[in-house]
Structure 1
Amino acid sequence: MIKIVTDSSADLPNELLEKYKITVVPMNVSIEGVDYREGVDITPKEFFKKMFASAELPRTSQPSPAVFGEAYSKFPVNSEILCLTISSGLSGTYQSAIIAKGLTKNKVTVFDTLAGSLGHGIQIIKAAELAESGHSMEEIVAILTKYRENMNIFILLDTLENIVKGGRLSKFQGSLAKLLNIKVLLQRGDGGTVETLEKIRGKKKSQKRLMEIIKDSKKDFSETIFGITHTGNLEEAEALKNEIIALFHPKEVILNYMGATMGTYAGRRGMIISYA
């Protein structure tokens, strides 16, 4: 059967990684000069505690080709491997995974999910289910390509603190947004990047607006898997999950911590909602 490899930015819960026997290559994150491997040297809870206490924005970086090569080569020779990576519009991980194909004797196909967090993770689940049901690599890639086109990703920013730390917004603009209670709703842009969708005053209004956007995006959610990730605001994420279940009756809602890669952008009380 086809083996699945991915990077840790997919933010999938451990039980799903184990269920589908998914091999995870850790992303790298540096906080105040100390380097960590995501999910190996630091947990999401530990990461957010350190990030919120730091005056500097953490720095994330892709795994090296050598690390991907080790992951590919752990399988028996002549294994068929599908590696799904975070969007090439957000990270150089896809290129590392491609380069690593030359470091193994196994046959590797690398797929750019053009997504992050559980928008990436849901595509991994889709791939794993297709592999388990006996689909060929060509069939899986063809189905995933169409599935990827329908992937919706929305990021709810409760604070612009990390945007200011990252230099994308001045302290004055950040303070003004806080004073006016401005919440920013981001979405997946062209090429798997992130772009601003709307700026809304008040958290309740921003979440209500998101529900309206989701409702207008499709008629039937009965076969839809939603993914919600958060930066430590579990109660808010659970409330959003319950609202999605009540409004749309989806097949499943996966809830998990956001990892360092997307969490660095989302900041305190941020949430990412993904579905296709």
Structure 2
Amino acid sequence: MIRIITDSSADLPKNLLEGYNISVVPLRVKIEDEEYLEGIDLTPREFFEKMFSTTELPKTSQPSPAAFAEAFDECAENDEVLCLTISSGLSGTFQSACLGKELSSRNVTVFDTLAGSLAHGLQIIRAAELAQKGHTMEEIIENLMGYRKNMNILILLDTLENIVKGGRLSKFQGSLAKILNIKVILEGVKGQVEMLEKIRGKKKFQKRTLEIIRERKTDFSDTIFGITHTGNEEEAERLKQEIIDLFNPKQVIVHYMGATMGTYAGKDGMIVSF
């Protein structure tokens, strides 16, 4: 049997984690002087409430190798273990999982999704579905490599405030963007985050997002979309409905963004993955 393990940055809803019997190793989140285990001590809703009420940006840190080893060793002796992690370009979690593999007595394969949030989560669902259908580990990894290569990750920033706080952009640029009502679309590329477009005005911002989706594919009938948000659930649900109306995809999953990506996405940020 192949068991799937991941870290908490995948942002998968609880019902999907339980439905596919996926084990989660939590990242640590530090807000001011308090440290929490993501998803255990702190729900996504609580995380954003705390983040928006403090001037300091939260800090996330990867699980320890021992935490991964413990999760691996909890699997049955004859199980094969597949661990899918957040991009190694965004966190040290992949390296931690690899070290955990060395500490574990189980047969473990660690896969770098080169993604965050539900772009990571969608790869977990793909792996779990293939495992349920009886595919071998080699077949699952081969399939995942193709799926990962074709993954689209659009990061929609309504405000640049947290990017400025995190030192990724100057205060002058951030202030100018606020005055000019500039919105930013970033893109996940090979595990890193890159600038895609700058757009002026909220309506143009949302319209352009749908145009980009249309430019990427023609047939969405077998496509699962993932939308994560930082508390702007109504906006995310509206985008979900527009995607359904325009593209008729297989499924659209909407969930809170976790601390790893949510810290920089800031207020009213969203990530669209497909």
User: What do the CA deviations read for 1:223-261 (whole angstroms, capped 9, x no partner)?
Assistant: 000000000000000000000000000000000000111
Matches within 5 A, 1:23-102: 23-102=23-102
Matches within 5 A, 1:127-138: 127-138=127-138
CA contact (8 A) 1:221 1:248 kept: yes
TM-score (norm 1): 0.98
Matches within 5 A, 1:43-192: 43-189=43-189, 191-192=190-191
- Identity of aligned pairs, percent? 70
Secondary structure of the equivalent of 1:222? coil
How far does residue 205 in structure 1 lie from its aligned partner after superposition?
0.6
Tell me, in whole angstroms, the C-alpha distance in 2 between the residues paired with 1:271 and 1:76: 38
TM-score (norm 2): 0.99
How far does residue 204 in structure 1 lie from its aligned partner after superposition?
1.3
Tell me, in whole angstroms, the C-alpha distance in 2 between the residues paired with 1:102 and 1:92: 16
Tell me, in whole angstroms, the C-alpha distance in 2 between the residues paired with 1:172 and 1:105: 53
Matched residue type, 2:35: D
Q: Which residue of 2 aligns with 1:252?
A: 251
Tell me, in whole angstroms, the C-alpha distance in 2 between the residues paired with 1:94 and 1:171: 32
Q: Which residue of 1 aligns with 2:16?
A: 16
User: What do the CA deviations read for 1:70-129 (whole angstroms, capped 9, x no partner)?
Assistant: 100111223200000000110110000001112211100000000100000000000000
Tell me, in whole angstroms, the C-alpha distance in 2 between the residues paired with 1:12 and 1:112: 17
CA contact (8 A) 1:78 1:105 kept: no
Equivalent residues, number: 274
Tell me, in whole angstroms, the C-alpha distance in 1 between the residues paired with 2:115 and 2:267: 21
Tell me, in whole angstroms, the C-alpha distance in 2 between the residues paired with 1:37 and 1:56: 19
Secondary structure of the equivalent of 1:197? strand
Q: Decide which moves more: 224-233 or 163-172.
A: 163-172
Secondary structure of the equivalent of 1:194? strand
Tell me, in whole angstroms, the C-alpha distance in 2 between the residues paired with 1:113 and 1:170: 30
Q: Which residue of 2 aligns with 1:232?
A: 231
User: What do the CA deviations read for 1:22-69 (whole angstroms, capped 9, x no partner)?
Assistant: 000001111102111100110111100110111111111110100000
Structure 2 portions without partners, runs of 5+: none
Tell me, in whole angstroms, the C-alpha distance in 2 between the residues paired with 1:35 and 1:226: 32
**In angstroms, what is the RMSD of aligned CA positions?**
0.8
Tell me, in whole angstroms, the C-alpha distance in 1 between the residues paired with 2:163 and 2:58: 12
Q: Which residue of 2 aligns with 1:272?
A: 271
Tell me, in whole angstroms, the C-alpha distance in 1 between the residues paired with 2:50 and 2:170: 23
How far does residue 171 in structure 1 lie from its aligned partner after superposition?
2.3
User: What do the CA deviations read for 1:114-162 (whole angstroms, capped 9, x no partner)?
Assistant: 0100000000000000000000000000000001000000010000110
Tell me, in whole angstroms, the C-alpha distance in 1 between the residues paired with 2:79 and 2:123: 21
